[in-house]
Every structure is written in C-alpha cells, then in structure tokens.
Amino acid sequence: MAGILDDLKRTFRQGNIVVRLIYINVAAYIVSMLLGVVLGLFNIGISEWLYRLYLPADLLQLLRRPWTLVTYMFMHAGLWHLLGNMLWLYWFGRLFLYFFSAKHLRGLYVVGGLSGALLYILAYNVFPMFGPQLYGATLVGASASVLAIAIATAIREPDYQINLLFVGPVKLKYFALFIVLFDILYVSSNNAGGHIAHLGGALAGWWFARGIAKGYDITHWVNVCMDALGSLFRKRERKPRRPRMKVHVNNASGRKADYEYNARKKEQSDEVDRILEKLKKSGYSSLTDNEKRRLFDASKN
C-alpha cells in the first residue's frame, strides 16, 4: 500500500498541471465516497456534509459558505460526471499547453470556475423562472473550468482540427460554436444551472484568450495568490539546514561547465522563441512533429 501511495505522489509531483488537476478532482471524489461509506455504517448521511461543499444559488446561503465558490469546481455528483469532465480536461488541457503556459491553465481553471459560478448565481437570483428552485439549488462540477480551457484554445487556434468519433476532423472554431449554442438552447432545461455555468466558463475562456492577444492576463491575480500560498507551505516544510561542507573545485573547470550550461539554455530558449514566432505567423498546422514536441516539452517547465 505504501508503495502505491509513493508512486501516486511521485506521479503527481512529476506530472504537468493537467495531471495534477485530474489527481485533485479524482482524490476529492474518492475521499467523499469513502467518507460516505464510513458514515453510512453508523447510519449517518453524507448529503449534508457534501452540501456544504456545493455552490448554493441562494445569496444568504452563499454568505454562510463562501468557500463553495472554489470547492464546487473540484466536486462531482457521480462517477460518470467525474469521468466526462476529466476526459475533457485531459484532451483540451494538453492542447491548451501547446499555446499557453502551465500557470495560464492553472489560473484559467479557477477563473473559469468563478465566472461560471457568478453567472449561475446571477441568473438564479434575477430570472423569475428559477424563483421556486432558488433555495435548494446547488452547482457542482468542473465543467465551467474545463469549458474555459476549451474555448480559450479554440479562440487562440480556431483552425486547428480535432477528430471526433463518428464525425471525423472538425475545426476547433466550429466545435466551440456548437458547444456554446447547445448550452444556450438548453438553458431552460432540467440542468439549467449547469448550462448557465458552462456559458460563464466559456465567457472566461474567450476573455482570457482575447486578453493575452492584447497583452493582459486575467489569470495573473490567481497565480500571484496561489504562488504566495505555495511559498508559505514550502517554508513550513523546509527542513533544518545541515552544516555546510567545504568543497574545493577547479575554478577553470567550474567556469567552463557554467558557460556550457548557459549556452545550452540560451540555445533551447532561442529555439522555442523561433517555434513560437512560426506558430504566430503560420498557425499550429505549419509546425513539424519535432517542433510540436519541443513546444510541448517547453510548456511543462
């Protein structure tokens, strides 16, 4: 058992941001299910506990549970709900990293989720149709976050083709348009809250991609907060310093090693810049397989 946990920890630490987000979502689902089994043995329902992690539409309940603005985007209503969202996150997350950085994806996941949450709350408190459902309505799932990532990718590279089962190759711009129209048409269905949140996430994805093209990043504040939070945890986990050992090295060989290392890094950086410039001018389809691989490897750093 310890070996399995060690393997999972290692995979999480070595994986890119897409893998880490999938791990977090899956872990949240497994923990909630296990807790439900344990509480069930004592005839205690888990629904009330989970309810405190779901996003309520009612403003008074939201004021009592503000953390749900974040927790809801990592919770899922069932296995198929989780599986569908994680597959979308895997497919579009990897594609997103060809054009943007890992920090961009991390930040957009949160911003997309918040945008979906705010549009959901606004709609349920403004439109009379949702009045009878307002008090008991809750939102759960990573759909808004994932859709923000998908739409941002489609805005950045609209003519990139993906292969859909039973359909064949489809350009991202048409796929994105279909998703948005589908959510608009079903905004008054039984899952109205989910479709409204999807539209909020899509809006965040569009805003992000357009902003990056114009020189500003709507995810910057999220990444600043998360980096600051991460630095606090790293300080707490920092081990006591060991006594320094004096090591004598040949200065000439040391300078040579530093020069070679810096030269390699400069060469790699110049190559990535060249690929990005080619991508900007001619599009993703103009890149060779080797250039695509180099760009993907660079996006993980």
Q: Supply the DSSP string of 127-184, one letter for each residue.
A: -GGGGGGTTT-EE-SSHHHHHHHHHHHHHHSTT-EEEETTTEEEEHHHHHHHHHHHHH
Q: What's the confidence (pLDDT) of residue 51?
A: 84
Give the single-character DSSP code of 248: -
10-residue block means of pLDDT along the chain (301 residues)? 68 83 95 86 76 93 95 94 95 94 95 97 94 91 96 95 85 94 92 95 97 93 90 66 54 58 71 74 71 69 55
Can you list the alpha helix ranges (DSSP code H) found in 42-142? 47-51, 59-64, 68-71, 79-99, 102-126
Asked whether residue 213 falls in the same domain as residue 275, the answer is no
| Global pTM value | 0.77
Q: What's the confidence (pLDDT) of residue 175?
A: 94
Domain boundary among 179, 208, 229: 229
Q: Give domain status of residue 23, yes or no.
A: yes
What range does the domain containing 296 cover? 271-301
CATH of the domain at 7: 1.20.1540.10
Asked whether residue 296 falls in the same domain as residue 161, the answer is no
Q: What's the confidence (pLDDT) of residue 290?
A: 77
Asked whether residue 75 falls in the same domain as residue 152, the answer is yes
Q: Give domain status of residue 250, yes or no.
A: no
- Do residues 146 and 194 make contact, with C-beta atoms less than 8 angstroms apart? no
Q: Give domain status of residue 177, yes or no.
A: yes
Asked whether residue 29 falls in the same domain as residue 118, the answer is yes
Q: Give domain status of residue 120, yes or no.
A: yes
Count of domains in the chain? 2
Asked whether residue 13 falls in the same domain as residue 162, the answer is yes
Asked whether residue 44 falls in the same domain as residue 149, the answer is yes
Asked whether residue 45 falls in the same domain as residue 141, the answer is yes
Q: Give domain status of residue 235, yes or no.
A: no
